[in-house]
Amino acid sequence: MKTTRIWTAIFAATLALGLTGCGGSGSNSSLLPNPLVRFVNASPDSGQLQFLMNDVARSAPLTYLASSDDFASVPFITDDEGGYDFSVNDVGSGNELERDNTSIGRDTASIIISYGLTNPGLDDEKKVQQAIATVDRVTPIGNKARLVIFNAAVQPTGTEPLSIDFQTVDLTDPLSQGTPQFSKPNLTYGAYSETASVLLIDSGSKTLQARLSSDGAGSTVVVVAQDTFNLIPGKIYLALVSGVVDSVIPGQAPKISLIEIRNK
Protein backbone atom coordinates (compact mmCIF):
# COMPACT_ATOMS: atom_id res chain seq x y z
CA MET A 1 0.00 0.00 0.00
CA LYS A 2 2.86 2.35 0.93
CA THR A 3 4.65 1.60 -2.38
CA THR A 4 1.46 2.38 -4.33
CA ARG A 5 1.14 5.79 -2.66
CA ILE A 6 4.79 6.65 -3.50
CA TRP A 7 4.36 5.81 -7.22
CA THR A 8 1.08 7.73 -7.33
CA ALA A 9 2.81 10.83 -5.91
CA ILE A 10 5.69 10.54 -8.40
CA PHE A 11 3.27 10.19 -11.33
CA ALA A 12 1.27 13.24 -10.19
CA ALA A 13 4.41 15.37 -9.82
CA THR A 14 5.68 14.32 -13.26
CA LEU A 15 2.33 15.10 -14.87
CA ALA A 16 2.26 18.53 -13.20
CA LEU A 17 5.76 19.33 -14.48
CA GLY A 18 4.79 18.23 -17.98
CA LEU A 19 1.72 20.44 -18.01
CA THR A 20 3.72 23.40 -16.71
CA GLY A 21 6.29 22.94 -19.45
CA CYS A 22 3.67 22.80 -22.17
CA GLY A 23 1.96 25.94 -20.89
CA GLY A 24 5.25 27.85 -20.75
CA SER A 25 6.15 27.20 -24.37
CA GLY A 26 2.73 27.54 -25.95
CA SER A 27 -0.22 28.98 -24.06
CA ASN A 28 1.66 31.82 -22.36
CA SER A 29 3.09 33.14 -25.64
CA SER A 30 -0.38 33.02 -27.21
CA LEU A 31 -1.59 35.40 -24.48
CA LEU A 32 0.81 38.14 -25.62
CA PRO A 33 -0.82 41.00 -27.58
CA ASN A 34 -1.09 40.88 -31.35
CA PRO A 35 1.44 42.89 -33.38
CA LEU A 36 0.88 46.60 -33.91
CA VAL A 37 1.60 48.27 -37.26
CA ARG A 38 1.70 51.82 -38.59
CA PHE A 39 2.45 53.09 -42.11
CA VAL A 40 4.44 56.06 -43.45
CA ASN A 41 4.85 57.27 -47.03
CA ALA A 42 8.42 58.58 -47.51
CA SER A 43 8.40 58.33 -51.33
CA PRO A 44 8.91 61.94 -52.51
CA ASP A 45 7.47 61.71 -56.04
CA SER A 46 4.41 59.70 -55.07
CA GLY A 47 0.75 60.62 -55.14
CA GLN A 48 -1.38 58.56 -52.80
CA LEU A 49 -0.04 55.16 -51.76
CA GLN A 50 -2.16 52.32 -50.37
CA PHE A 51 -0.53 49.96 -47.87
CA LEU A 52 -1.79 46.39 -47.62
CA MET A 53 -1.07 43.30 -45.53
CA ASN A 54 -2.02 40.00 -47.11
CA ASP A 55 -3.93 42.04 -49.71
CA VAL A 56 -6.09 43.79 -47.10
CA ALA A 57 -5.81 47.58 -46.90
CA ARG A 58 -4.53 48.56 -43.46
CA SER A 59 -4.64 52.35 -43.74
CA ALA A 60 -6.24 55.12 -45.72
CA PRO A 61 -4.27 56.15 -48.84
CA LEU A 62 -1.27 58.24 -47.77
CA THR A 63 0.39 61.16 -49.55
CA TYR A 64 4.10 61.94 -49.23
CA LEU A 65 5.17 62.34 -45.57
CA ALA A 66 1.72 61.31 -44.33
CA SER A 67 1.31 58.50 -41.82
CA SER A 68 -1.57 56.41 -40.60
CA ASP A 69 -3.13 57.93 -37.50
CA ASP A 70 -1.73 55.47 -34.98
CA PHE A 71 -0.68 51.88 -34.50
CA ALA A 72 -3.34 49.30 -35.34
CA SER A 73 -3.52 45.72 -34.12
CA VAL A 74 -3.34 42.93 -36.72
CA PRO A 75 -3.95 39.21 -36.19
CA PHE A 76 -0.78 37.29 -35.39
CA ILE A 77 0.35 34.91 -38.18
CA THR A 78 3.19 32.45 -37.70
CA ASP A 79 5.96 31.67 -40.18
CA ASP A 80 4.42 28.24 -40.69
CA GLU A 81 1.19 29.95 -41.72
CA GLY A 82 3.01 32.06 -44.30
CA GLY A 83 3.73 35.25 -42.35
CA TYR A 84 2.70 38.60 -43.80
CA ASP A 85 2.74 39.87 -47.38
CA PHE A 86 3.37 43.62 -47.26
CA SER A 87 2.49 45.45 -50.46
CA VAL A 88 2.20 49.07 -51.50
CA ASN A 89 0.05 50.22 -54.43
CA ASP A 90 -0.08 53.49 -56.34
CA VAL A 91 -3.69 54.66 -56.00
CA GLY A 92 -3.65 56.71 -59.20
CA SER A 93 -2.49 53.95 -61.54
CA GLY A 94 -3.60 50.96 -59.48
CA ASN A 95 -0.14 49.43 -59.94
CA GLU A 96 1.52 47.40 -57.23
CA LEU A 97 4.89 49.02 -56.59
CA GLU A 98 6.44 46.55 -54.16
CA ARG A 99 5.63 43.32 -52.30
CA ASP A 100 7.62 41.69 -49.51
CA ASN A 101 7.03 38.80 -47.15
CA THR A 102 8.17 38.67 -43.54
CA SER A 103 7.07 37.74 -40.04
CA ILE A 104 6.30 40.01 -37.10
CA GLY A 105 6.42 38.87 -33.50
CA ARG A 106 3.71 39.25 -30.91
CA ASP A 107 3.78 42.26 -28.59
CA THR A 108 5.78 44.38 -31.08
CA ALA A 109 5.18 47.74 -32.73
CA SER A 110 6.39 48.13 -36.32
CA ILE A 111 6.41 51.09 -38.69
CA ILE A 112 6.25 50.13 -42.37
CA ILE A 113 7.91 52.85 -44.46
CA SER A 114 7.76 53.22 -48.22
CA TYR A 115 10.82 54.95 -49.68
CA GLY A 116 12.31 55.49 -53.11
CA LEU A 117 10.69 56.76 -56.29
CA THR A 118 7.53 55.70 -58.07
CA ASN A 119 9.25 56.78 -61.31
CA PRO A 120 12.93 55.85 -60.89
CA GLY A 121 13.75 55.89 -64.61
CA LEU A 122 16.84 53.77 -65.26
CA ASP A 123 17.93 53.93 -61.60
CA ASP A 124 16.29 50.68 -60.58
CA GLU A 125 17.89 50.75 -57.11
CA LYS A 126 15.84 53.89 -56.40
CA LYS A 127 12.43 52.34 -57.05
CA VAL A 128 9.84 52.21 -54.28
CA GLN A 129 10.76 49.74 -51.57
CA GLN A 130 9.55 49.03 -48.05
CA ALA A 131 11.33 48.90 -44.72
CA ILE A 132 10.05 47.70 -41.37
CA ALA A 133 11.20 49.56 -38.26
CA THR A 134 10.34 47.72 -35.06
CA VAL A 135 10.39 50.38 -32.36
CA ASP A 136 10.80 50.47 -28.60
CA ARG A 137 7.87 52.47 -27.24
CA VAL A 138 8.98 52.49 -23.59
CA THR A 139 8.99 56.10 -22.37
CA PRO A 140 12.47 57.67 -22.23
CA ILE A 141 13.53 58.55 -18.69
CA GLY A 142 14.11 62.05 -17.33
CA ASN A 143 14.61 64.89 -19.80
CA LYS A 144 15.41 62.57 -22.70
CA ALA A 145 13.64 62.02 -26.00
CA ARG A 146 14.22 59.14 -28.43
CA LEU A 147 14.72 59.48 -32.18
CA VAL A 148 14.11 56.54 -34.52
CA ILE A 149 16.09 57.65 -37.58
CA PHE A 150 15.47 56.48 -41.13
CA ASN A 151 17.49 57.53 -44.18
CA ALA A 152 15.11 57.79 -47.15
CA ALA A 153 17.03 60.55 -48.96
CA VAL A 154 17.24 59.71 -52.67
CA GLN A 155 20.44 60.72 -54.45
CA PRO A 156 20.34 62.53 -57.84
CA THR A 157 19.85 60.61 -61.09
CA GLY A 158 22.83 58.45 -61.92
CA THR A 159 24.21 58.55 -58.37
CA GLU A 160 24.33 55.52 -56.10
CA PRO A 161 22.37 55.69 -52.81
CA LEU A 162 24.61 57.01 -50.03
CA SER A 163 24.77 56.83 -46.24
CA ILE A 164 24.23 59.85 -44.03
CA ASP A 165 25.49 61.06 -40.67
CA PHE A 166 22.69 62.34 -38.44
CA GLN A 167 23.71 64.80 -35.73
CA THR A 168 22.95 67.88 -33.68
CA VAL A 169 24.63 71.21 -34.43
CA ASP A 170 24.99 74.36 -32.35
CA LEU A 171 24.26 77.27 -34.69
CA THR A 172 26.28 79.59 -32.42
CA ASP A 173 29.37 77.37 -32.59
CA PRO A 174 30.69 76.44 -36.07
CA LEU A 175 33.04 73.88 -34.50
CA SER A 176 30.07 71.87 -33.23
CA GLN A 177 29.55 70.35 -36.66
CA GLY A 178 32.82 68.49 -36.31
CA THR A 179 32.19 67.48 -32.68
CA PRO A 180 28.40 67.05 -32.34
CA GLN A 181 26.90 66.49 -28.91
CA PHE A 182 24.56 63.78 -30.27
CA SER A 183 25.07 61.79 -33.44
CA LYS A 184 24.43 58.57 -35.34
CA PRO A 185 26.93 58.04 -38.18
CA ASN A 186 26.78 56.00 -41.39
CA LEU A 187 23.05 55.40 -41.66
CA THR A 188 22.57 53.34 -44.80
CA TYR A 189 19.87 54.34 -47.27
CA GLY A 190 16.74 52.26 -46.65
CA ALA A 191 18.19 50.32 -43.71
CA TYR A 192 17.03 50.19 -40.10
CA SER A 193 18.66 48.83 -36.95
CA GLU A 194 17.13 48.81 -33.48
CA THR A 195 20.48 50.01 -32.10
CA ALA A 196 22.37 51.85 -34.86
CA SER A 197 19.30 53.86 -35.97
CA VAL A 198 18.08 54.95 -32.53
CA LEU A 199 19.34 58.07 -30.74
CA LEU A 200 18.61 58.99 -27.12
CA ILE A 201 18.88 62.77 -26.96
CA ASP A 202 18.34 65.65 -24.55
CA SER A 203 14.98 67.34 -24.93
CA GLY A 204 14.52 71.01 -25.76
CA SER A 205 15.35 73.02 -28.86
CA LYS A 206 17.72 71.06 -31.07
CA THR A 207 19.03 71.74 -34.58
CA LEU A 208 19.21 68.40 -36.38
CA GLN A 209 21.43 67.93 -39.42
CA ALA A 210 21.77 65.15 -41.98
CA ARG A 211 24.97 65.18 -44.01
CA LEU A 212 26.55 62.74 -46.40
CA SER A 213 28.72 60.38 -44.42
CA SER A 214 32.47 60.69 -44.74
CA ASP A 215 32.46 57.41 -46.67
CA GLY A 216 30.41 59.04 -49.43
CA ALA A 217 31.54 62.67 -49.27
CA GLY A 218 35.19 62.26 -48.38
CA SER A 219 36.60 65.38 -46.72
CA THR A 220 33.88 67.60 -48.21
CA VAL A 221 30.96 68.42 -45.90
CA VAL A 222 27.70 68.00 -47.81
CA VAL A 223 24.64 68.93 -45.75
CA VAL A 224 21.58 67.11 -47.06
CA ALA A 225 19.00 68.68 -44.74
CA GLN A 226 18.84 70.67 -41.52
CA ASP A 227 16.06 71.99 -39.28
CA THR A 228 15.37 73.00 -35.68
CA PHE A 229 12.82 71.19 -33.52
CA ASN A 230 11.55 71.38 -29.94
CA LEU A 231 11.92 67.87 -28.51
CA ILE A 232 9.57 67.13 -25.61
CA PRO A 233 10.84 65.08 -22.63
CA GLY A 234 9.60 61.48 -22.67
CA LYS A 235 8.51 61.62 -26.31
CA ILE A 236 9.53 59.27 -29.13
CA TYR A 237 9.82 60.44 -32.73
CA LEU A 238 10.38 58.89 -36.12
CA ALA A 239 13.05 61.13 -37.67
CA LEU A 240 12.75 60.85 -41.45
CA VAL A 241 15.42 62.17 -43.78
CA SER A 242 13.66 62.20 -47.14
CA GLY A 243 13.35 63.96 -50.48
CA VAL A 244 15.60 64.00 -53.53
CA VAL A 245 19.06 65.50 -53.07
CA ASP A 246 19.59 68.62 -55.25
CA SER A 247 15.98 68.49 -56.47
CA VAL A 248 14.40 71.74 -57.66
CA ILE A 249 10.93 70.18 -57.94
CA PRO A 250 8.55 71.77 -55.41
CA GLY A 251 7.93 69.50 -52.44
CA GLN A 252 10.78 67.10 -53.26
CA ALA A 253 13.71 68.98 -51.71
CA PRO A 254 15.49 67.05 -48.93
CA LYS A 255 14.14 67.62 -45.45
CA ILE A 256 14.03 66.23 -41.94
CA SER A 257 10.56 65.41 -40.59
CA LEU A 258 9.59 64.27 -37.11
CA ILE A 259 6.53 62.05 -36.64
CA GLU A 260 5.54 61.40 -33.02
CA ILE A 261 5.30 57.76 -31.95
CA ARG A 262 2.80 56.94 -29.22
CA ASN A 263 4.44 55.61 -26.06
CA LYS A 264 3.59 52.16 -24.76
Domain-by-domain residue ranges, the chain?
Answer: 32-134, 139-264
> Which pTM was predicted?
0.86
Listed residue (118, 127, 123) closest to 160, CA to CA:
123
Q: In b/e form, how buried is each residue of 8-29, taking b as 16+ CB within 10 angstroms?
A: eeeeeeeeeeeeeeeeeeeeee
Residue 94 CB coordination number (10 Å): 8
CATH architecture for residues 32-134: Sandwich (2.60)
Q: Give the pLDDT confidence of 79-112 residue by residue, as tens digits.
A: 899 999 999 999 999 999 999 999 999 999 999 9
pLDDT at position 2, please? 45
Q: State how far the alpha carbon of 56 is from the alpha carbons of 52, 53, 100, 142, 226, in Å.
A: 5, 5, 14, 40, 37
DSSP string, 110-126: EEEEEESBSS-TT-GGG
**Which residues of the chain are modeled with pLDDT < 70?**
1-30, 215-219
Tell me the C-alpha distance between 241 and 227, whole Å: 11
Kindly indicate whether the domain formed by 139-264 is annotated with CATH number 1.10.10.10: no
Q: Give the pLDDT confidence of 165-178 residue by residue, as tens digits.
A: 999 999 888 877 78
DSSP E strand stretches across the chain:
36-42, 49-53, 56-57, 72-73, 84-90, 96-102, 109-115, 129-134, 144-151, 164-169, 183-187, 198-202, 204-212, 223-231, 236-242, 255-261
Let me know if the fold of 32-134 is the same as that of 139-264: yes
| Residue 15 DSSP class | H
Listed residue (150, 163, 154) closest to 119, CA to CA:
154
CB 231 within 8 A of CB 206: yes
pLDDT at position 217, please? 52
pLDDT at position 14, please? 44
